[in-house]
Structure 1
Amino acid sequence: MDAQFLGTDDLATTTPPPVAVVVDVMRAFTVAAWAFARGAEKIVLSGSLDESLALKARHPEWVTLKDGPPAPGFDAVNSPALLRSVDLGGRTVVQKTTAGTVGALAVKDAPPVLCASFVVAGATAEVLRAGGSGSVTFVVTGEDGKADEDLACAQYIARRVTEAGSGAGSDSAEFLRRAGDSRAASELAEGVRQGAHPDDVALCLELDRFPFAMVAALEDSLMVLRPHTAPSSVAAPWAGERAAGRASA
């Protein structure tokens, strides 16, 4: 697999990637995984707070979630620890964050987009491996592409893809250490970031906590994230595009 690691801003000067994996460890795509684990049916990735509130106005039953402290019109904050006891059975969640959702929306025109963090790292690697992806762009969303927790997770997933069968324990300690020593982890642990819980960092570093990957695609103009437990369900579109390319060559 040919992997490249780009920040969100770098995407403006590149062609849409054939396969994109958008990584936000602390905390967007750890929170998204917890939302699915708590029963959410789908997550709408929102481009702005105003869009989130407009969606809430049209769909009062949807659950709105944002970075930072609680705010009028929003039902939850971007904290895995605060979300882990919430019953989201069958609900639609609208998520707006500073980095993760921005990164996913930046590649919305790509084929199915994977959203990832350590808690779904293994399942994400399985999807990439099943899709036979020759070239993958990992989008490092935090700190303008410099967030070491996101880069470490992206590099770990890439290694899991290329070292099939090595298992979850393969060299994971160093990648998790980097994430735990990151600026984001320090800010969360020190209470610098609002809308956080003391357990957030530990939950973000739980490798392979969940058995599903998360795939986003446009649905009626909205970028919608859904859990995928069967790698073959997203492998076919990539394989079809490569086959078409070979036929036209």
Structure 2
Amino acid sequence: MDTRFLGIAELTEVPSVAVVVDVMRAFTVAAWAFARGAEKIVLAESLDAALELKGRHPDWVALKDGSPAPGFDAVNSPGMLRSTDLGGRTVVQKTTAGTVGALAVKEASLVLCAGFVVAEATAQCLRTRGCDGVTFVVTGEDGRADEDLACAQYIARRAADAATDAAEFLRRAGESRAAGELADGVRQGVHPDDVELCLELDRFPFAMVAALEDSLMVLRPHEVPSLTDAAPI
């Protein structure tokens, strides 16, 4: 499998297959939203767009980075979201990096959104679909976020070699700038368990596929058959 690891700004053409990685915290949060019963997640282009969607659909759950803000129901924290009942709900998500990266490749034939919590399911999805070329979009820090790059490299290796050990990749992520900022309270809207939850390998037995639906980029869980009994939720 031919792989490329690019930052959002380095995307000069539409890839055929894209894996958009945001470990801390957008796609860890997205996975938890699905685990808590969300039907789908609409990836918003801006905060105003998220609020406009919320205004048209008052029953949708609007979620953003940082501290709470008027009009938004939740913040981008897995520790906070894990106790929320989202059964059958639609979530609107806008974050600094993850949602931006997914929207940047919205024309790709296959878009997977990932973090460590869905790493194996994502790798298996790539294997079963026989993807020859994959572009991994490293969303954080202009493509230099080590937690995202480590996760992307791990998924790429798992897609090619099921024997790959995760320990070194998780260590890099745990020592990343983002992990330090979350642990030290530099970022807002943080739960004390956020870093630990973002580093929980293969917590969920599904991949997450994003696709255009009526002009909106919509993220949905994609069950991987051999993993459906892999991890309790």
Q: Establish whether TM, by shorter chain, passes 0.5.
A: yes
2:88 to 73, 80, 90: 90
Q: Which residue is equivalent to 1:45?
A: 43
Q: Given that residues 3 and 133 in structure 2 are in contact (C-alpha distance below 8 angstroms), is that contact kept between their aligned partners in structure 1? A: yes
Unpaired segments of 5 or more residues in structure 2? Answer: 226-233
Q: Which residue is equivalent to 1:54?
A: 52
Q: Given that residues 16 and 110 in structure 2 are in contact (C-alpha distance below 8 angstroms), is that contact kept between their aligned partners in structure 1? A: no
CA deviations on 1:26-51 (whole Å, 9 max, x unpaired) are 00000000000000000000000000
1:52 is displaced (CA, Å) by 0.4
Q: Given that residues 112 and 208 in structure 2 are in contact (C-alpha distance below 8 angstroms), is that contact kept between their aligned partners in structure 1? A: yes
CA deviations on 1:6-60 (whole Å, 9 max, x unpaired) are 000001x2x2111000000000000000000000000000000000000000000
Task: Indicate the SS of the match to 2:221.
Answer: strand
Q: Which residue is equivalent to 1:148?
A: 146
CA distance in 2, matches of 1:178, 1:161: 20
1:112 is displaced (CA, Å) by 2.3
Q: Which residue is equivalent to 2:99?
A: 101
Matched pairs, number:
226
Task: Indicate the SS of the match to 1:216.
Answer: strand
Root mean square deviation, CA, Å: 1.0
The answer to whether the aligner puts 1:200 opposite 2:170 as a matched pair is no
CA distance in 2, matches of 1:109, 1:124: 19
**1:1-249 residue pairs with structure 2 within 5 A?**
1-11=1-11, 13=12, 15-164=13-162, 166=163, 170-230=164-224
Q: Which residue is equivalent to 2:228?
A: none
CA distance in 1, matches of 2:183, 2:61: 26
CA deviations on 1:54-92 (whole Å, 9 max, x unpaired) are 000000000000000000000000000000000000000
Task: Indicate the SS of the match to 2:168.
Answer: helix
Rg comparison, structure with higher value: 1
One-letter identity of the residue aligned with 1:184: A
CA distance in 1, matches of 2:224, 2:188: 36
Structure 1 residue runs of 4 or more that deviate by more than 4 Å after TM superposition: none
1:171 is displaced (CA, Å) by 1.8
CA distance in 1, matches of 2:224, 2:76: 27
CA distance in 2, matches of 1:114, 1:38: 20
CA distance in 1, matches of 2:210, 2:160: 23
1:230 is displaced (CA, Å) by 3.6
CA distance in 2, matches of 1:135, 1:18: 7
CA distance in 2, matches of 1:34, 1:202: 13
Task: Indicate the SS of the match to 1:110.
Answer: coil
Task: Indicate the SS of the match to 2:126.
Answer: helix
Pick the structure with more helix per residue.
Answer: 1
One-letter identity of the residue aligned with 1:4: R
1:123 is displaced (CA, Å) by 0.1
